[in-house]
Structure 1
Amino acid sequence: MVGLQPIINLNVVNAPEDDPAIGMLILFVGLPLSLISLVFGTITGIMLVQLRTQIRLFRL
């Protein structure tokens, strides 16, 4: 049990110049961007699958 260390440090120290609004801004900008990229990747994957089936039908 000596080698086990906690991964999460709960003793968070905020510097005086830290602004919590920056963290919220990053959160509110980052989440929609990640969802947009997820939707874009899903649509691209669906289009690639459909194009593969069309190419297979065209070769026959």
Structure 2
Amino acid sequence: MAWVIVLIVAWLIISARHHTGLFGAILVTIIAFILYVIVAILLGILLGVTLIILPF
């Protein structure tokens, strides 16, 4: 539950500081998460380790 509050606060801070609006902040968060997953998987393959375990 705490991470949901943190996520909403982060979206509000992003939307206020960058004038993107709340939906822009949510979109940036989704893109950042996708990039994080891709980079973690690629680094895991290159290094032969598991850097991220997805819940799905």
- Normalised to the residue count of structure 2, the TM-score between the two structures is 0.49
Choose between structure 1 and 2 for higher RCO, CA contacts under 8 A separated by at least 6 residues: 2
Structure number, greater radius of gyration: 1
Give the TM-score taking structure 1 as reference length: 0.46
Which has more helix, going by share of residues? 2
